[in-house]
């Protein structure tokens, strides 16, 4: 992958700055955040609330949310990574020995673009467009940003990898949402999808409480 030399140097310096500002607490926190626990917890809660208040329409939303993840993940992992073939910093001889590696985790060989960034930002945008609530949207993008940051902290992605993943994810989320809106009137003629899914204030509060408590548990657990 060709990048101008100043950009390559900036990429490495910023990664080292992020990676070398580490501690045992941050190791545990970002290791957990980079995994699947958090999205599983808030995904199950959000799914329950959507089904409770929107019934069968939720299946339609899930199909296109799944398509967003499938599209973002395949574009990043199956197409861009093997074609561009940019080494992850954890496998790059010019920088790998300078990195702080957590649990001896180095990831696959290639890192551009970040699949974590693509998937999380794709999901964040799709859900934001779907639910149209500023506070929920903020929580989705905070999760996506912290997950993406964790990949740099762990030394397995350069900042440019993350930016590339963000672009892939945002485009995937936008395209899948637009496709859903375009197909909905033709396929679900009996369903009104002109308005966002109904999620009352109480249900939104439940979700945000679970979201915040899960973050808090991860943060506290990281001390031990």
As a three-state string, the secondary structure of the chain is CCCCHHHHHHHHHHHHHHHHCCCHHHHHHHHHHHCCHHHHHHHHHHHHHHHHHHCCHHHHHHHHHHHHHHHHHHHHHHHHHHHHCCECHHHCCCCHHHCCCCCCCCCCCECCCCHHHHHHHHHHHHHHHHHCCHHHHHHHHHHHHHHHHHHHHCCCCCHHHHHHHHHHHHHHHHHHHHHHHHHHHHHCCCCCCCCCCCCCHHHHHHHHHHHHHHHHHHHHHCCC
| Predicted confidence (pLDDT) at residue 193 exceeds the cutoff of 70 | no
How many Å apart are CA 185 and CA 181, to the nearest integer?
7
What is the average pLDDT across 174-188? 85
Range with the lowest mean pLDDT among 54-63, 102-111, 195-204, 207-216?
Answer: 195-204
Instruction: Give residue-wise pLDDT tens across range 123-152.
Output: 999 999 999 999 999 999 999 999 999 999
Range with the lowest mean pLDDT among 122-126, 172-176, 195-199?
Answer: 195-199
pTM above 0.95, yes or no: no
Domain boundaries of the chain, sorted by first residue: 60-214
Winning range, highest mean pLDDT, from 43-47, 52-56, 150-154: 150-154
What's the token pair of residue 33? 């955040």
How many Å apart are CA 85 and CA 108, to the nearest integer?
11
What is the average pLDDT across 190-215? 79
């Amino acid at each position: 992958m060709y990048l101008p030399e100043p950009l390559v140097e900036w990429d490495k310096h910023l990664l080292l700055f992020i990676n070398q500002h580490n501690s045992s607490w941050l190791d545990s926190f970002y290791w957990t955040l980079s995994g699947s626990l958090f999205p599983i917890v808030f995904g199950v809660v959000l799914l329950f609330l959507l089904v409770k208040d929107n019934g069968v329409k939720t299946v339609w939303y899930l199909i296109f949310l799944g398509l967003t993840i499938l599209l973002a993940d395949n574009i990043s992992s199956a197409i861009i990574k093997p074609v561009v073939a940019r080494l992850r910093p954890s496998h790059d001889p010019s920088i790998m020995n300078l990195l702080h590696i957590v649990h001896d985790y180095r990831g696959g060989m290639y890192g551009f673009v970040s699949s974590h960034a693509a998937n999380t930002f794709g999901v964040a945008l799709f859900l934001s467009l779907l639910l149209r609530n500023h506070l929920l949207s903020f929580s989705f993008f905070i999760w996506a940003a912290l997950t993406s940051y964790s990949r740099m902290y762990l030394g397995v992605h350069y900042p440019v990898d993350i930016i590339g993943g963000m672009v892939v994810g945002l485009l995937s989320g936008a395209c899948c949402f637009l496709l859903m809106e375009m197909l909905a009137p033709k396929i679900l003629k009996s369903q009104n999808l002109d308005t966002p899914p109904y999620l009352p204030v109480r249900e939104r509060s439940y979700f945000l409480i679970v979201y915040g408590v899960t973050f808090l548990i991860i943060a506290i657990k990281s001390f031990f």
